Amino acid sequence: MKICKTFFLVTVLLAVSSSNVFAMESEEQTVFHETTMEDSLEEEAEIFTMEDFNTNVSAELKAGMNSQVKKFTEMEALYATGTTYTPDQYEPNNNSGVATSGIKGKKIQANINTANDEDWYKIDVTQSDLDESQGLIAVILTDIPANYDYDLFILKIMSNGQMGQVSSEQTGNTSETIYLQGEPGTYYAVVDPKNGIDNNYSPQNYSFYFGGAYKNGSTGYMNLGMKFDFGTKNYGSNGPWLSPYQQVDLSSVSFIPDQALISKLYISDNSNGAYWIGFYKMVNGIEQMGNSSAPLDIAENQYLAKELYQIQGKITRSDGFIWEPQLRIDYIYPITIQNLRFISQ
């Protein structure tokens, strides 16, 4: 990529120096028609007095100034009509020696704002980073401004000393996404405007992420507004009694990332504190004895978090016990363009 860019620049310089821009200089002399002051007088041409001249010119100038002159403050207004212009806080970073570090696992905003700009990022990946993300690294370049085309390159000195490179080079402002089976070490990521496109730079930001391909999240305990009123009952040897279920549909909520998998599922004991015997909490048929705050007994990372949840209680004796369960879902989710909004800046 670097070689291509340098070669391109050299080609342009050669093109400029080989064409003789002075060759077209004209040798013709401009010939003025000789009109004397006297001729003018004879032709009775309209002549302005010096005073008129001054007045007219200054009026024209004034009119011209008012209609054409732009103030510097208006230049900001031009940007304000589109996406707000923000300087690239990570500059200078135009080569590996000054590459920006400290961005691992974050979603950042930066921009390609001059013809020669390219943005280098340096990321040190550790074994524990990889352990947290199933060994996978995600690198995502998105929100590329409309009508521009930036590409994404990943470089790494491999253990044998050779340079490894992988790239994503979609056309247009299509997002660039690379998933890597990671190994510990130093990676360089480069956001590079595609060559051969005029004015391929913009003050508008792109978004960039380099980090684990999976992240953890949690809904926290959610009050579902459910009440299970078991009344005053003693089923004794006839029990236990199974309540009707109540359900909550989380299959299309926006506060849980798409494709999230349940890592741990909790159902709380919240209640009015009345006496009970033999109380069991149930979520989609998974049972847990009352007074347990442990996660439910389900396999980790195998069930979709965005699901329909059916909740029931089972009880042997109730002295007016009312259960008001809260549900908590801990999950793991893949870093995709859609899910980037869950990543902090």
Nearest to 6 by CA among 195, 199, 201: 195
Strand partners, 221: 328
Q: Residue 151, interface with Ca ion (CB under 5 A)?
A: yes
Q: Which two tokens stand for residue 249?
A: 């549909």
90 touches 108 (CB < 8 A): yes
330 is a site residue for Ca ion (CB under 5 A):
no
Of residues 175, 313, 167, 290, the one with CA closest to residue 231: 313
CB of 102 to Ca ion, least distance (A): 15
Cβ atoms of 342 and 272 closer than 8 Å: no
Q: Which is nearer to Ca ion, 129 or 149 (CB)?
A: 149
Q: What angle do CA 230, 288, 238 make, to 5 degrees?
A: 45
Query: Checking DSSP bridges between strand 176-181 and strand 136-142, what pairing results, if any?
Result: antiparallel
Q: Which residue is nearest to Ca ion (CB)?
A: 88
280-283 and 286-289 beta bridge pairing = antiparallel
Q: Which amino acid is at 59?
A: A
**Cβ distance to Ca ion smaller for residue 119 or 330:** 119
Does 246 bind Ca ion (CB under 5 A)? Our answer is: no
| Neighbour count for residue 168 (Cβ, 10 Å) | 16
Antiparallel, parallel or unpaired: β 214-223 and 176-181: unpaired
Q: Which of 149, 214, 311, 318 is the binder for Ca ion (CB under 5 A)? A: 149
Between strands 185-193 and 119-125, the pairing is antiparallel
**Are 157 and 163 within 8 A, CB to CB?**
yes
Contact call for residue 192 and Ca ion (CB under 5 A): no
Question: Residue 187 Cβ, how far from Ca ion at the closest point, in Å?
Answer: 17
Q: Does 119 bind Ca ion (CB under 5 A)?
A: yes
Q: Which of residues 54-93 bind Ca ion (CB under 5 A)?
A: 88, 93
Residue number, 88 or 330, with CB nearest to Ca ion: 88
Can you tell me which of 103, 107, 108, 117 binds Ca ion, judged by CB under 5 A? Answer: 117
Query: 88 or 129: whose CB is closer to Ca ion?
Result: 88
Segment interacting with Ca ion, rule: CB under 5 A, options 40-48, 112-120, 216-224, 334-342: 112-120
Residue window 193-212: x/- pattern of binding to Ca ion, with contact defined by CB under 5 A: --------------------
Instruction: Compute the least distance from the CB of residue 169 to Ca ion, in Å.
Output: 5
Q: Which of 96, 109, 134, 170 binds Ca ion (CB under 5 A)?
A: 170
Query: In terms of CB distance, is 117 or 330 closer to Ca ion?
Result: 117
Footprint of Ca ion on this chain (CB under 5 A)? Answer: 88, 93-94, 117, 119, 149, 151, 170
